[in-house]
Amino acid sequence: MPVAASAIYFLNLRGDVLINRLYRDDVGGNMVDAFRTHIMQTKELGTCPVRQIGGCSFFYMRISNVYIVIVVSGNANVACAFKFVVEAVALFKSYFGGAFDEDAIRNNFVLIYELLDEIMDFGYPQNLSPEILKLYITQEGVRSPFSSKPSDRPVPNATLQVTGAVGWRREGLVYKKNEVFLDIVESVNLLMSSKGSVLRCDVTGKLLMKCFLSGMPDLKLGLNDKIGLEKESQLKSRPTKSGKTIELDDVTFHQCVNLTRFNSEKTVSFVPPDGEFELMKYRITEGVNLPFRVLPTIKELGRTRMEVNVKVKSVFGAKMFALGVVIKIPVPKQTAKTNFQVTSGRAKYNASIDCLVWKIRKFPGQTEPTLSAEVELISTMAEKKSWTRPPIQMEFQVPMFTASGLRVRFLKVCILILLVCHAPLSKSPSSNDFHLQVWEKSGYNTVEWVRYITKAGSYEIRC
């Protein structure tokens, strides 16, 4: 059964109900008490996100200082429920302008009630795209698109758009300057052994798009991925241009992308939503260019002293640079004193996370700064157990660099303008009132901006 929820609760960290909505009758209104006594007030909290208490099951997620709890009594679709929560939070954020927390909920409770009523019916998720909902659920509420009062921006067919095939874009958009911004954001996940061999490494990338385009444009995106290129050369029966091609392990697309077409023709074609959205996500495990290599040597000298040497090597082009590099080197809890020497950036000991934190604001390519530190430890009685070393963790951003080597080859905007005009009523009263004309407009200029950035996902080096 695809039902995702019988009830949804938003609780603060103390367990007070901030807002709730019952969608079905099969769970009691006081089920949240069970959640409070059996999960929130016990060690259970955080050990398992799906729990059964009595006849009901609870799914919960924590987002900033709010617990979102879904209660069901039947065999509900859990995947659907969690995804619904994630999307709903994204929707609320888009309405509140960024933050989602206890205060934001209290300050917008009327709006949230209204949205909760709209995005889920009887436990079945409905349309959650902010773009469409903002057409008829507005902050002021008074401006209904159908009210007899003339309003400043009439939306003639909101309901058609909620349910329409292109449920994510409204019609009749006009921009003076047609612009498309494309951001390729990659996170590198790395797990490296202390000996320097790569245990696990992958890149998860996102194509974030910001569109300001008029009408109903049909976009086509070309990447330098192997399958897409092969298919293209097959179709055009000419050999692929030389250049680096990459192999994508997996791709997932925003709902605007025509999946059937992707499957058969390997082209990414779509009618984009207006504004900002995540077009696609991909994952790559082969041929990853790691931007940094970390070479740690940690020596325990007796029971009270440690020597830490860490060398970080940047292996991207010398003209590029990384920003906001932070290297966290774990040290034992009983650290008493630390002495540093760094060849670049600044380092300090942070006792609250038991780490030496080394920050380098601007880190050029092809360099290898080092940190050497002496750590003095308090000798303790409970020394039977040797120190278990957590991995070194690293954060960074490298602009204009993709760890996967992915490049956008082209972004074509094919504009099909559907022109709707009223036919003279007198002429043919029985036939359709609308006359459809389709043509391709030639003078449709777009400006495209493409940016690349690579960030650290979980970049861990065991030591």
Q: Which of residues 281-300 bind another protein (CB under 8 A)?
A: 281, 283
Provide the minimum distance between the beta carbon of 59 and another protein in the complex, in angstroms, as a whole number: 7
Applying CB under 8 A, among 41, 45, 117, 235 the residue interacting with another protein is 117
Characterize the bridge pairing of strands 446-461 and 178-192. Answer: parallel
- Asked if residue 379 binds another protein (CB under 8 A), the reply is no
Alpha-carbon torsion angle 248, 252, 257, 261, nearest 10: 60
Amino acid making up residue 424: P
User: In this complex, which beta carbon is closest to another protein, that of residue 71 or of residue 415?
Assistant: 71
The contact pattern for another protein, residues 202-231, with x = CB under 8 A and - = no contact, is x-x---------------------------
Applying CB under 8 A, among 40, 173, 210, 254 the residue interacting with another protein is 254
- Asked if residue 54 binds another protein (CB under 8 A), the reply is yes
Applying CB under 8 A, among 13, 45, 146, 247 the residue interacting with another protein is 146
User: In this complex, which beta carbon is closest to another protein, that of residue 178 or of residue 256?
Assistant: 256
Q: What is the distance between the alpha carbons of residues 235 and 212, in angstroms, rounded to a whole number?
A: 31
Q: Which of residues 265-284 bind another protein (CB under 8 A)?
A: 278, 280-281, 283
- Asked if residue 130 binds another protein (CB under 8 A), the reply is no
Applying CB under 8 A, among 230, 249, 286, 383 the residue interacting with another protein is 249
Per CB under 8 A, the segment of 100-108, 230-238, 294-302, 350-358 that binds another protein is 100-108
Contact 342, 326 (CB under 8 A): no
User: In this complex, which beta carbon is closest to another protein, that of residue 3 or of residue 403?
Assistant: 3
Which phi-psi region, left, alpha or beta, contains residue 162 (left: φ > 0; alpha: ψ -120 to 50)? Answer: alpha
For 408, residues 6+ apart whose C-beta sits below 8 A from its C-beta are 182, 184, 221, 222, 223, 450
> Residue 58's beta-bridge partner residues?
51, 71
Concatenated DSSP letters for 27-41? S-TTHHHHHIIIIIT
Concatenated DSSP letters for 414-459? EEEEEEEEEPPTTT-SSS-SEEEEEEE-S---EEEEEEEEEEEEEE
- Asked if residue 125 binds another protein (CB under 8 A), the reply is yes
End-to-end CA distance of the chain: 48
- Asked if residue 106 binds another protein (CB under 8 A), the reply is yes
- Asked if residue 40 binds another protein (CB under 8 A), the reply is no
Q: Which of residues 393-432 bind another protein (CB under 8 A)?
A: 393
User: In this complex, which beta carbon is closest to another protein, that of residue 263 or of residue 430?
Assistant: 263
SS3 355: strand
Q: Which of residues 163-192 bind another protein (CB under 8 A)?
A: 163-165, 167, 189, 191
- Asked if residue 51 binds another protein (CB under 8 A), the reply is yes
- Asked if residue 19 binds another protein (CB under 8 A), the reply is yes
Per CB under 8 A, the segment of 75-83, 176-184, 210-218, 409-417 that binds another protein is 75-83
Contact 191, 200 (CB under 8 A): yes
Contact 131, 168 (CB under 8 A): yes
Per-residue tokens: 2: 């695809």
Applying CB under 8 A, among 153, 385, 422, 427 the residue interacting with another protein is 385
Per CB under 8 A, the segment of 67-75, 211-219, 355-363, 401-409 that binds another protein is 67-75
> Residue 449's beta-bridge partner residues?
181
Q: What is the distance between the alpha carbons of residues 186 and 204, in angstroms, rounded to a whole number?
A: 6
Per-residue tokens: 373: 């530190």
Contact 424, 414 (CB under 8 A): no
Q: What is the distance between the alpha carbons of residues 441 and 463, in angstroms, rounded to a whole number?
A: 61
Provide the minimum distance between the beta carbon of 2 and another protein in the complex, in angstroms, as a whole number: 5
- Asked if residue 352 binds another protein (CB under 8 A), the reply is no
Within 237-348, residue ranges assigned H as helices are: 259-265
User: In this complex, which beta carbon is closest to another protein, that of residue 96 or of residue 358?
Assistant: 96
Q: What is the distance between the alpha carbons of residues 4 and 124, in angstroms, rounded to a whole number?
A: 6
- Asked if residue 113 binds another protein (CB under 8 A), the reply is yes
Number of residues that bind another protein (CB under 8 A): 121
- Asked if residue 73 binds another protein (CB under 8 A), the reply is yes
Applying CB under 8 A, among 237, 263, 431, 437 the residue interacting with another protein is 263
